[in-house]
Amino acid sequence: MRRLLVIGHLSLVICLSAFAQSNLTYELKVGTTGEVKLLEEFPESYAGEKVNITVTGYGLQVTGYGLQVTGYGLRDIEALDFVFASEDQPRLADRFDSIYSYTDEAEVAWTVWRSNKEIKNRGQRVLVANAYKTFEEYVVSHTAAKKRGSGWIWWLFAGLLLAGTAAYGGYIIYSRRKEKLLTPVEQEILRRKRMGNRRHYGSQLYLWLLLLVLYAPIALIAVFSFTKSKILGNWTGFSMDLYVNLFTGKADAGLNSAIWYTVVIALIAAVVSTILGTLAAIGIYNMRARSRKMVSLLNSVPMINPDIITGISLFLLFVALGMSQGLATVCIAHVVFCTPYVVLSVLPRLSRMNPNTYEAALDLGATPAQALRMVMLPELWPGMLSGFILALTLSVDDFGVTFFTKGSGGLETLSTFIYSDARKGGLTPELRPLFTLILLVMLVALIVINVRNNKHQKD
Amino acid sequence: MSRLVQIFSSRRTWAWPYIAFMAMFVVLPLILVGVYAFTDIEGHFTLRNFAKFFTHSEAIQTFIYSLVIALFNTTICLLIGYPAAYIMAQEDFRTPKVMAMLFILPMWINFLLRTVATVELFNMCGLPLGEGALLFGLCYDFLPFMIYPIYNTLQKMDNSLVEAAQDLGANKWTCFWKVIVPLSLPGVYSGIVMVFMPTVSTFAVAELLTHNNIKLFGSLIQDYITTTDLLNYGATLSLVLLVIIGLTSFLGDSDSAGGEKGGLV
């Protein structure tokens, strides 16, 4: 109990300091003029080229041929084309008013990206370090005011902190009073117990610090899922809008289809790999030692291979076969890396099962299908279920393999969607509530499983 | 016909669909990586790709750099993860299950999203995105893979061995180095394998964490494989990676096998 209170306090303090940082936002006013130079000179070949400018929530990003600025703005406003006037350095400032009239002015942080000529075809990004600085300086010195975050959130945190302190103090007073009623021997036992616990405070602290670091980015996502702001790390007041958008389908169309595809692919892959893997496990279990070893080795290959190798090798196969890549190829790829895990979770159940029951069923006149359904499956299903869940998790989480097998037909799963989003320079805001909810669901599920396991053990 | 029925009622054959599937979608693709690596764009046999790799300073440098980064990452993960696993595996540690649960829970958040959030966190704290951010992010992603195997071996360890050492007069330090560490080595090996290789081959994470200023071998392969006319060179780089993977898992295997034998004696 005490420990929980201490942890609560610590995390509150961390949250507070995070907010203190995030309240530094830049405000750009509509109609600002002024010259912003990209310090890096563009090669002459860019002169006369068509340039596409849009505003981004997170970064002004220059990619592709010539100068293309992409990001959030792409979804919010029309792209603006303009042509470099001369071999002069481009003057982005000229375009500010027309850009900013469309967008939420308090939400902009800038990064300037430029494609390097030799790799521009691949859409690579190179940070123009100097430009970043000038841009930011410009934004700060000309227009920015350090905006304080909405006041009530501070009060809320202060209140929570106060309440936490009061609860902690109350708990201590309460436990002291209870202690006085104990006999001296019991008091001594309690004191020794406490001393014993105190010895472990160092190691406990270590673990909790690790967890704190591990959860800091996640806490960031969760906290900022309750604000409307388009960029992560900018608090624009409490709002449930993102959750509403997520459930009413008002979120980005790309995100909706990515969620849909992720679910469909995960289900297909999990079902197919569970069936295939269970049959394979039964087959492997009944093999002779040598061939069993061979197949087990084969089974471990996709597990040892890193994502990128599985992805690339399958990509090469599909290229060689001339298969067009899309939903089918992604499903096949997911079955490839999911099935070995199903096999591995079913095999232990088989070795625990009495091997003669199946034969007995056959002897008593059951067909193999009947024997499978009525004798084997009831024994195997816990293994199959855990394999199925594992396959679902692996499939939803996969990025590397999907990336190489999804083709260019616009199929995106959540992972690849996040990747291309992050590459453009910002995250679709609705991703925050989505993953906050996933985390909550997983937390509840794990707690339920743990509690049930404990009960089983006690029984 | 009856022969056919006989074949299918033997349960040994139930693995055949899976074996066929694996042959088609695991073995054949891996062979194809080799084939593409040794051919040019028109499909003629050539060694030029390998010659290019060994003279291509960017590729070689990235390769060595990735190995070094992976080595650093593995070391950091081990240094941070071993104490954590050790603390959790202590007998008087009261909530190992809850702790273990808390350590896996973040894995359900998409790792790319976590990476982006890490970048944002670095921005908030005013820390620069560079090598430090890269190592932090990689360690962040792979730490659970190091803690788990070590925790498992430590937990299954026979505590009476430790007690025996203490009875025979070993102090805490000796007991730890001479008894606990050697017994936990199999877990350490599998942790190292699970962290080292994925780090070398990682892509996307490095790109996001450093705004593509630092490239790891995985990103390099990704660049080439997605460029149509450089696909064969990409396959060559993948083959290099495959060879390294083969070597590490082979070494890992023989190491842990040796460890087991030592344990038996």
Q: Is A61 helix (H, G, I), strand (E, B) or coil?
A: strand
**List of chain B residues whose C-beta atoms are within 8 Å of the C-beta of residue A281:** 15
CA A137 – CA B207 distance, rounded (Å): 26
Nearest-CA residue of chain B relative to A313?
A: B29
Specify the amino acid at residue A190.
Answer: L
Per-residue pLDDT of A423-450, as tens digits, reads: 765 678 888 899 899 889 888 888 888 7
In DSSP terms, A227 is beta-bridged to: A238
Nearest-CA residue of chain B relative to A224?
A: B117
Nearest-CA residue of chain A relative to B37?
A: A316
Q: Of A150-159, B65-74, B97-106, where does mean pLDDT reach its minimum?
A: A150-159
Nearest-CA residue of chain A relative to B102?
A: A211
CA B153 – CA B151 distance, rounded (Å): 6
B43 located within any domain: no
Torsion over CA: B103, B105, B111, B116 (sign): negative
Instruction: Judge if A71 and A220 occupy the same domain.
Output: no
Q: Which residues contact B159 (CB under 8 A, 6 or more apart)?
A: B91
pLDDT at A452: 81
- What CATH number corresponds to the domain at position B78? 1.10.3720.10
Burial of A401 (0-12, 13-18, 19+ CB in 10 A): buried
Instruction: Judge if B137 and B232 occupy the same domain.
Output: yes
φ/ψ of B84, rounded to 5, equals: -60, -45
Instruction: Judge if A277 and A399 occupy the same domain.
Output: yes
Locate tokens 């595996």: which residue? B89
Domain membership of residue A164 as a residue range? 2-21+149-239
DSSP string, A118-183: GGGGGT--EE-HHHHHHHHHHIIIII---PPPPHHHHHHHHHHHHHHHHHHHHHHHHHHHHHHTS-
pLDDT at A332: 94
Nearest-CA residue of chain B relative to A302?
A: B26
A80 Rama class: left (phi>0) / alpha (psi -120 to 50) / beta: beta
CA A230 – CA A216 distance, rounded (Å): 20
Cβ atoms within 10 Å of B164's Cβ, excluding its own: 13
Q: Closest approach of chain A CAs to the CA of B262, in angstroms?
A: 24
CA A344 – CA A356 distance, rounded (Å): 22
**List of chain B residues whose C-beta atoms are within 8 Å of the C-beta of residue A277:** 18
Q: Is A272 helix (H, G, I), strand (E, B) or coil?
A: helix
B154 located within any domain: yes
B95 contacts chain A (CB < 8 A): no
- What CATH number corresponds to the domain at position A293? 1.10.3720.10
pLDDT at A8: 60
Instruction: Judge if A305 and A387 occupy the same domain.
Output: yes
In DSSP terms, A53 is beta-bridged to: A69, A80
Instruction: Judge if A264 and A365 occupy the same domain.
Output: yes
B182 located within any domain: yes
pLDDT at B206: 84
The token duo for B52 is: 């290019």
Instruction: Judge if B9 and B105 occupy the same domain.
Output: no
Cβ distance of B208 and A284 shorter than 8 Å: no
Instruction: Judge if A103 and A175 occupy the same domain.
Output: no
Cβ distance of A282 and B93 shorter than 8 Å: no
The token duo for B92 is: 């008087």
Burial of B263 (0-12, 13-18, 19+ CB in 10 A): exposed
pLDDT averaged over 10-residue windows placed end to end, chain A, 459 residues: 57 52 33 29 39 35 32 29 36 33 27 30 25 35 35 69 82 76 75 64 84 88 83 74 84 86 95 93 87 87 87 91 88 94 90 82 83 84 90 90 86 89 74 89 84 72
| pLDDT band at residue B105 using 50, 70 and 90 as cut-offs | confident
Instruction: Judge if A359 and A214 occupy the same domain.
Output: no
A452 located within any domain: no
The token duo for A300 is: 């471990």
In DSSP terms, A82 is beta-bridged to: A51
**Which of the residues A112, A316, A390, A420 would you substitute to probe the B interface, choosing the one with the greatest number of B C-beta atoms within 10 Å?**
A316
CA A138 – CA A140 distance, rounded (Å): 5
On the question of pLDDT at B213 being above 60, the answer is yes
Domain count, chain B: 2
A82 located within any domain: yes
B11 located within any domain: yes
DSSP string, B2-54: HHHHHHHHSGGGGGHHHHHHHIIIIIHHHHHHHHHHTB-TTS-B-SHHHHHHH
Cβ atoms within 10 Å of A252's Cβ, excluding its own: 17
Domain count, chain A: 3
Contact predicate B105/B97, CB 8 Å: no
Q: Which residues contact A21 (CB under 8 A, 6 or more apart)?
A: B124, B125, B126
Instruction: Judge if A270 and A413 occupy the same domain.
Output: yes
On the question of pLDDT at B255 being above 80, the answer is no
B159 located within any domain: yes
Locate tokens 């009476």: which residue? B160
Nearest to B117 among A232, A284, A299 (CB): A232
Q: Closest approach of chain A CAs to the CA of B213, in angstroms?
A: 7
**List of chain B residues whose C-beta atoms are within 8 Å of the C-beta of residue A296:** none
Q: Is B56 helix (H, G, I), strand (E, B) or coil?
A: coil
Cβ distance of B105 and A211 shorter than 8 Å: no
Instruction: Judge if A78 and A166 occupy the same domain.
Output: no
Q: Locate all alpha helices (DSSP H) within A235-288, ordered by sequence.
A: 241-248, 253-285
- By DSSP bridging, strand A61-62 and strand A68-70 are antiparallel
> What element of type H or E holds A385?
helix A377-397
Question: What does DSSP assign to residue A41?
Answer: P
Cβ distance of A200 and B225 shorter than 8 Å: no
A12 located within any domain: yes
Contact predicate A53/A80, CB 8 Å: yes
Instruction: Judge if B80 and B22 occupy the same domain.
Output: no
**List of chain A residues whose C-beta atoms are within 8 Å of the C-beta of residue B111:** 397, 399
Instruction: Judge if A360 and A379 occupy the same domain.
Output: yes
**Which of the residues B113, B226, B238 would you substitute to probe the A interface, choosing the one with the greatest number of A C-beta atoms within 10 Å?**
B113
> Which chain B residues in 145-204 lie under 8 Å from chain A, judged by CB atoms?
197-198, 200-204
Torsion over CA: A68, A73, A75, A78 (sign): negative
Specify the amino acid at residue A379.
Answer: E
Instruction: Judge if B22 and B100 occupy the same domain.
Output: no
Instruction: Judge if B85 and B199 occupy the same domain.
Output: yes
Question: What does DSSP assign to residue A323?
Answer: P
B249 contacts chain A (CB < 8 A): yes
B234 contacts chain A (CB < 8 A): yes
What pTM was estimated for this model as a whole?
0.71
Nearest to A306 among B10, B111, B197 (CB): B197
B48 located within any domain: no
Cβ distance of A418 and B112 shorter than 8 Å: yes
Q: Closest approach of chain A CAs to the CA of B163, in angstroms?
A: 19
Instruction: Judge if B101 and B30 occupy the same domain.
Output: no
Instruction: Judge if A372 and A416 occupy the same domain.
Output: yes
Per-residue pLDDT of A129-140, as tens digits, reads: 223 333 333 333
Specify the amino acid at residue B71.
Answer: L
Question: What does DSSP assign to residue A112?
Answer: B
B235 located within any domain: yes
Instruction: Judge if B150 and B195 occupy the same domain.
Output: yes
Q: Is A325 helix (H, G, I), strand (E, B) or coil?
A: coil
pLDDT at B72: 94
A173 located within any domain: yes
**List of chain A residues whose C-beta atoms are within 8 Å of the C-beta of residue B97:** 450
Q: Is A3 helix (H, G, I), strand (E, B) or coil?
A: helix
Cβ distance of A418 and B116 shorter than 8 Å: yes
User: Comparing C-alpha atoms, which of B123, B209, B25, B114 is closest to residue A233?
Assistant: B123
> Which chain B residues in 26-65 lie under 8 Å from chain A, judged by CB atoms?
26-30, 32-33, 36
A69 located within any domain: yes
pLDDT at A204: 81
Instruction: Judge if B13 and B112 occupy the same domain.
Output: no
Domain membership of residue B15 as a residue range? 2-37
Instruction: Judge if B31 and B155 occupy the same domain.
Output: no
B29 located within any domain: yes
Q: Closest approach of chain B CAs to the CA of A68, in angstroms?
A: 17
Instruction: Judge if B163 and B108 occupy the same domain.
Output: yes
Per-residue pLDDT of B128-147, as tens digits, reads: 777 888 999 999 888 988 99
Instruction: Judge if A210 and A314 occupy the same domain.
Output: no
Cβ distance of B102 and A403 shorter than 8 Å: no
Instruction: Judge if B29 and B117 occupy the same domain.
Output: no
Distance of CA B143 to the CA centre of its chain: 11
Instruction: Judge if A275 and A213 occupy the same domain.
Output: no
The average confidence (pLDDT) of chain A is: 68
A32 located within any domain: no
Cβ distance of A203 and B87 shorter than 8 Å: yes
Which of A67-81, A289-303, B63-77, B97-111 is the most confident on average?
Answer: B63-77
Instruction: Judge if B99 and B23 occupy the same domain.
Output: no
